[in-house]
Amino acid sequence: MADRRRDLAVHRGGDTPPIAPPPSGKLWYDHQIPDEFFSGLPGITQKVRWVREHLPRGKRIKIGGASAWYEADIIAYIESQREDQRLADQARKRASGE
Q: Where are the domains of the chain?
A: 29-96
59 against 44, higher pLDDT: 59
Mean pLDDT of 69-93: 90
Question: How many angstroms separate the CA atoms of 91 and 86, rounded?
Answer: 9
Q: How far apart are CA 5 and CA 18, in angstroms?
A: 18
Report the alpha-carbon distance of residue 81 to residue 64 in Å, rounded. Answer: 28
- pLDDT for residue 77 is more than 60: yes
pLDDT of the residue at 3: 55
| pTM strictly above 0.75 | no
- Confidence at residue 67, expressed as pLDDT on a 0 to 100 scale: 95
Average pLDDT, the chain: 84
